[in-house]
Amino acid sequence: MQTDNSIRQETPGEERTQVLVFLAFLSSEACYAACRPALAPEKLAFALCRLWFDELYTPGLRYLDSLKGDVSQEAVDRFMDAFSDDERAALERFHRFLELRLDRLSAENRRQGVFPQNDTWFNIMRDAGYLLETFDADPDLTRRRLAWLVQRLLQQEQPLSDPLLRAPLLLPDGNANGNDRRSTC
């Protein structure tokens, strides 16, 4: 099943930024806690897997539910160009790790769109955190910014004109931006 790629912005370095933000979210317990009132953790985990397979990891050969048909070589090339050889190898290892864990989900879990919150899922979160540390100079700052953003967006307490929302969470080179405002959930 192909998904709507409208969330993907076609700007240089955007693939890298999207992957880093994804890894920060996936490895952040604060983000999960902020989302808990709106979405069960098991549903959120499955939705994150779908996002990785269907939207973010363009070199992959499958969507979450099926094989990819026509793969855009241009999109794959943009993705590949956003990362060094070593980074691409690390992403491929993470992708295979995630794929193996998904293949072990029961048919019932897949039908319900849930990934149980068990040791398998917590290992995925942990590995996403390790991978983020190889890409991001300050992964904890990135996680805090992202958790703050998720909390504010879900609670709709902060107007979209807030400076943190206007500033990029990550620069294309993967470093945290110069905004030193540190907020936590």
pLDDT attached to residue 154: 78
Structural domain containing residue 72: 11-166
pLDDT, residue 156, reads 58
Q: Is 61 part of a structural domain of the chain?
A: yes
Q: Which residue has the higher pLDDT, 22 or 148?
A: 22
Q: Does a structural domain hold residue 183?
A: no
Q: What is the domain count for the chain?
A: 1
Query: What is the Cα–Cα distance from 125 to 130, expressed in whole angstroms?
Result: 9
Instruction: Look up residue 77 and give its two tokens.
Output: 């090339």
Phi (first) and psi of residue 117, to 5 degrees: -85, 90
| Res 7: pLDDT | 42
54 falls within a domain: yes
- Give the confidence band of 25 by pLDDT, cuts at 50, 70, 90: very high
Within a domain: 152: yes
Contact 80, 88 (CB under 8 A): yes
pLDDT digits (tens, 9 = 90+) for 82-103: 999 999 999 999 999 999 999 9
pLDDT in tens, 102-150: 999 999 999 999 999 999 999 999 999 999 999 887 888 888 888 888 8
Least confident of 81-95, 154-168, 171-185: 171-185
**Residue 174 located in a structural domain:** no
Does the residue 88 lie in any domain?
yes
Distances in Å between the Cα of 103 and the Cα atoms of 39, 97, 144 are 23, 10, 31
Q: Is residue 76 part of a domain?
A: yes
pLDDT in tens, 28-84: 998 888 888 888 999 999 999 999 998 899 998 888 887 777 778 898 999 999 999
Asked whether residue 5 is domain-assigned, the answer is no
Q: Are 142 and 170 in contact (CB under 8 A)?
A: yes
pLDDT (0 to 100) of residue 146: 86
Q: How far apart are CA 42 and CA 44, in angstroms?
A: 5
Rounded Cα distance, 129 and 22, in Å? 10
Instruction: Give me the pLDDT at residue 82, please.
Output: 93
- Predicted local distance difference test score (pLDDT) of residue 41: 94
More confident residue, 146 or 155: 146
